[in-house]
Every structure is written in C-alpha cells, then in structure tokens.
Chains A and B, each alone.
Chain A
C-alpha cells in the first residue's frame, strides 16, 4: 500500500514519458531492419536474392535487351536474407521505418532497377555485364586474363581460353 502511494506521487513528479512523435523526429535502435534498397550499378543478375526471398518480394524480369529488378515493400518480410546472400552487395537493408501509406499508394512502393545488357564483342549475343565496381572489389583488378576478356560472352571466353590452352600445349 505504501509503495503504491509512493509510486503515484513520484510519477506525478517525474512527468510524462511520452515522446511527441509526429511532431518530433524519432530514431530506431541500431541494426533495425527496415526497407530494402538496391544499387543497380553492382548487380550481376545472379538471381540468388529471388531464390532466398521469404515473401517473394523480389522479381527479376529478363527481357531481350535488359533485365528489370523490382522489390515490393508490401511483401518484404525484412528477413535480410537477400543482403546476406548477395555476392556483390547490391541489395542492402536500411533502417527506414516510415511505412504508413494511403491504400492506393502501397502498390507503388517498390524499387525498380533496369540493367541493360551488353553485346558480346565476338558473337554479338546479349549478355549480362560485369560491373567495373564488382570487378575491382571481388577480383581486386588482378585477374589480367579475365580483365582482357570481360567483354565477351562465356561461350566465346571458353573458346578463347581453349585456344590459349592449345597454344600453350603445342609449345
């Protein structure tokens, strides 16, 4: 009984613990999983994120001369598996939590990215490009043989490497 009275009086003295949210800005704890962002300049189109997405929010739509990437906020579970498995770090989870929309707007809340294909220098087939950023990071710019042949499609690259091999063997 006495603790009740003490708590009641202390609470009146301490003042409200409310944070007046819409009028002041609030932050979330570090490591909070919010919306997903996408950097088209690093994407290699491997489709691992599509495979691991829990809510089927990521879609990669391969067309004739480009591929479209989209992630819809209305189905993203924020499980962070896409960021975990992406080999190049093109998809990242931010701490953005302002998610309240009018109902007709929620269908527009998606990230789009469009990565155009490049043409193979030899056989003129359309292939997915290897971004320079990724080459610098992953291959550390040291794999000279790969660098010389990074603008031709895998089939042509195989043929060229086979020719080199034959040349080397024939010595």
Chain B
C-alpha cells in the first residue's frame, strides 16, 4: 500500500506533474526574459507563464463546429501524459520510479508521443491553417527522429562498452535501462569523452525543433499560418496545450542531462540530499535549455520548412553517425 502511495506521489507531485509544471513554466518565463534582454527590451516578468495559465483557465471556451469532438477534447492531454510518464524514467535526486529493462526504448517513443500530441490537436480542429501546421510538424519530426535514434544507439553502445570494460557480462547489461546508463557514467560522465561530443552537439541541435523555438519554429509560425495547430483552441484547452509544451521543455533537457552528465553532488538518501540533488539537476537542465534554446532562438531568424528538413537530414545525422562510428571503433 505504501508502495502504491509512493508511486502516486512520484507521479503527481515529485518528479511528476506538479514539479514539472512549475519548473517548466519557470523555464519558459526565464527564457522569455533573457530573449527580451538580448533584444534590448525589458520583457515580461518571470512568472508570466503562470499568469497566462491562470487567465486562460477563466476564458470562455469556443469550439468550432466541424471539429472532431473526442479528439479535440483529448488532444491537450496527450502531450502532458506522455511527458509525465517519460519523467518517471529519469532519476531526479531519487532513483527513477519506473526504471525497468527496456526503459530506454520507451523513452524514445515518449519523446515522439509528445510531438504527436500537437499533431492530433491540429488535425482535430477543422481549419486549413492547422492542417498546414500539422504537415510541417510531421515533416520535421520525421527528419529529426532519425538523428535521435542514432544518438540513443550511440549512448547505449557506449554504456555497454564501459560496463564490459570495467568487468561484467555484456548480455546482462544490454537491458536498456536508464540505471545502466547512469551507472556507466559513475566514473566519468559521457560529456567529458571526446567521442560522445558530436552526439551531444546533435542532440542540442534537435532541441529547438522539439520545443518550437527559433530557428526551427516553423510549426507555429505566427506570421505565416496564424499560430498553426493551436489556432482553434481557447480557454482551458489552450492552457493545457501550453502547459504541455512547457513541461516538454523540462523533460527533454532532463533527458540530455541524464544521457550525458548525470549524477548528484551529495550522496545519500536523506531528504536534504534529495533536495540538493534535485536542484543540481534543475540547474544542469537549465544550462542545456539556455545554450540550445534561449541563446540560439534569440540570435537566429526562422528557417523555412524545406530548409529545416534539409538541415536535420544532414548535419545532426552526420554528427551522430560520426559519434556512433567512433564509439564502435573504440569498442572493436
């Protein structure tokens, strides 16, 4: 019984729904403030996303007549559910609540599921602008998913290589769990290994497309397709969509942290060390978001969808295959 309660606490409060919601919204708020300062403006206050969320909850809900009712209602929840479940596999101060064999592959699916949420939202609203946004999102997801698979493969192979080198049968360790990846970096995190650096660079390049930030924010290109897939949503549905987008930001930065430089600074399982390790994790995730999200989005203009797809099918793919090759060469 206590186990079930503990898992429920993990799911809803820490590191589940509430924790991700608050941290994610603060990430977005800090991002907007820094982008404004780079553009020599003052910018909105840091807690602006909370105000946006509160305001959207009290607005009237205008549903278009031709929308597919069930999917229209369900769409905002898909991203949130996918991202919360994905966070269950990531250790934030405490060991990951749902870590089992094969968790690695489920993580890959959940990252894509979060993007599917936006696609379903756009398709369920009967608007041509939303349809254009959905087709652009699909093209972009297909383009960067290739590189994402190669990066995941690189990390897994590297983890297995390190574990076999320090002693241990390979067959036992090829169980694709997040724990194995974290423990493989116990002596030296992957970021300090020069063969993994191209993979890290490729992952950082994928982040803007995943989160809808410039230069690859073509999906919700405001001046072109009037906010893309989210055009017909208003009221609490839009609030949930934006909350899902903010939580996705924290989730994907946490994935980068866990794959390349996990680990707390204080050992032990007491409450104090959990808090300190969680704060350290949040800081690391924020540094990833700052470098790949904020700085990049404030400095570049928007790329067209064909330019974006061409970019994703060349540069991150080549970098991640390079990394895979280097890791395999060192193994063999």
Contacts and interface: CB of A to CB of B under 8 A. Distances in A.
Direct A–B touching, Cβ under 8 Å: yes
Contacts of B299: 4-5, 7-8
Interface string A44-77: 0000000000000000000000000000000000
A16 B295 contact: no
A11 B38 contact: yes
Contacts of A18: 40-42
B303 interface: no
Contacts of B36: 16
A11 B38 CA distance: 6
A17 B298 contact: no
A7 B38 CA distance: 9
B39 interface: yes
B39 to A, nearest CB: 7
A14 interface: yes
Nearest to A7: B299
A14 B37 CA distance: 9
Contacts of A16: 36-37, 40-42
A17 B41 CA distance: 6
A8 B300 CA distance: 11
A16 B295 CA distance: 17
A20 B42 CA distance: 9
Contacts of B300: 4
A15 interface: yes
Interface in B18-48: 36-42
A: contact size bracket: 10 to 19
Interface residues of B, number: 11
B41 to A, nearest CB: 6
A28 interface: no
B239 to A, nearest CB: 29
B40 A15 contact: yes
A17 to B, nearest CB: 4
Contacts of B39: 11
Nearest to A14: B40
B37 A8 contact: no
B295 A8 contact: yes
Contacts of B38: 8, 11-12
A17 B42 CA distance: 8
Contacts of A17: 40-41
Contact of B40 (A4, A5, A11, A20): A11
Interface in B283-332: 295, 298-300
A4 B37 CA distance: 15
Nearest to B295: A8
A126 B40 CA distance: 65
A13 to B, nearest CB: 10
Interface in B23-75: 36-42
A16 to B, nearest CB: 5
Contacts of B298: 8
A156 B39 CA distance: 73
Interface centre among B36, B40, B299 (most CB of A within 10 A): B40
Nearest to A5: B299
Interface of B: 36-42, 295, 298-300
Interface of A: 4-5, 7-8, 11-12, 14-18, 20
18 contacts: A4-B299, A8-B38, A8-B295, A8-B298, A11-B38, A11-B39, A12-B37, A12-B38, A16-B36, A16-B37, A16-B40, A16-B41, A16-B42, A17-B40, A17-B41, A18-B40, A18-B42, A20-B42
Which 5 pairs between the two chains have the least Cβ-Cβ distance?
Answer: A17-B40, A4-B299, A18-B42, A16-B42, A11-B40
